Amino acid sequence: MSKASPVHSAVIEPVGGHGGCNYYDFALCQSITAAGGRADLYTCDKTEVTGTEGFSIHKNYVGVYGPDAAWLRALRFVRGAFSSVRHAWSKGARVAHFHFYHVGPLEVLSIVLARLFRLKVVITAHDVEAFKRGLSVPIFVRWAYGNADQVIAHNMVSRDELLNTLKIPSSRVRIIPHGNHLQYVPAEVTRSLARSKLGYSDDEFVIVFFGQIKEVKGLDVLIKAFAKSYEAHRNLRLLIAGKVWKDDFGKYATIISDLGIEQVVRCEIRYIPDGEVAYFYQCADLIALPYLKIYQSGVVLMAMSYGRPVLVSDIPGMLEVVEDNVSGLVFRSGDPIDMSRRISQAVESRALLDRVAEGGARRVAEDYDWGVIGRSTLECYNATLIPR
Q: Where are the domains of the chain?
A: 8-179+369-384, 183-367
Distance CA(215)–CA(125), nearest Å, equals 20
What is the mean pLDDT of the segment spanning 286-293?
Answer: 96
Residue-wise pLDDT tens digits, 370-382: 999 999 999 999 9
Distance CA(225)–CA(231), nearest Å, equals 10
Residue-wise pLDDT tens digits, 319-363: 999 999 999 999 999 999 999 999 999 999 999 999 999 999 999
What is the mean pLDDT of the segment spanning 8-31?
Answer: 93
**Percentage of residues in the chain having pLDDT higher than 90:** 83
* Domain 8-179+369-384 indexed as CATH 3.40.50.2000: yes
Residue 272 has pLDDT above 80, yes or no: yes
- The pLDDT value recorded for residue 3 is 44
- The pLDDT value recorded for residue 277 is 94
Please, what is the average pLDDT of the chain? 93
**245 confidence band (pLDDT: 50, 70, 90):** confident
Residue 131 has pLDDT above 80, yes or no: no
CA of residue 210 relative to chain centroid, distance: 11
**132 confidence band (pLDDT: 50, 70, 90):** low
CATH architecture of 183-367: 3-Layer(aba) Sandwich (3.40)
- The pLDDT value recorded for residue 2 is 41
What is the mean pLDDT of the segment spanning 162-183?
Answer: 92
What is the mean pLDDT of the segment spanning 22-35?
Answer: 94
Instruction: Provide the 3-class DSSP secondary structure of residue 239.
Output: strand
- The pLDDT value recorded for residue 179 is 93
Higher pLDDT, 84 or 183: 84
Distance CA(340)–CA(346), nearest Å, equals 10
Residue 318 has pLDDT above 60, yes or no: yes
Neighbour-count burial of 126, counting CB atoms closer than 10 A to its CB (0-12 exposed, 13-18 middle, 19+ buried): buried
Distance CA(122)–CA(358), nearest Å, equals 35
Q: Where are the beta strands (DSSP E) in 57-141?
A: 57-61, 95-100, 120-125
What is the mean pLDDT of the segment spanning 249-272?
Answer: 96
Q: Which DSSP category does 210 fall into?
A: E
- The pLDDT value recorded for residue 4 is 44
Higher pLDDT, 135 or 180: 180
Residue 136 has pLDDT above 70, yes or no: no
Distance CA(363)–CA(119), nearest Å, equals 36
Residue 52 has pLDDT above 80, yes or no: no
**127 confidence band (pLDDT: 50, 70, 90):** confident
- The pLDDT value recorded for residue 205 is 98
What is the model's pTM?
0.85
Amino acid at 252: Y
**135 confidence band (pLDDT: 50, 70, 90):** low
Conformation bin of residue 298: beta by default, left when phi > 0, alpha when psi is -120 to 50: alpha
Nearest residue to 106 (alpha-carbon basis) of 131, 85, 88, 92 = 85
Contact status, residue 268 vs residue 243, Cβ threshold 8 Å: no
What is the mean pLDDT of the segment spanning 210-214?
Answer: 93
**174 confidence band (pLDDT: 50, 70, 90):** very high
Contact status, residue 9 vs residue 374, Cβ threshold 8 Å: no
- The pLDDT value recorded for residue 142 is 92
Helix (H) or strand (E) holding 357: helix 350-367
**Percentage of residues in the chain having pLDDT higher than 70:** 97
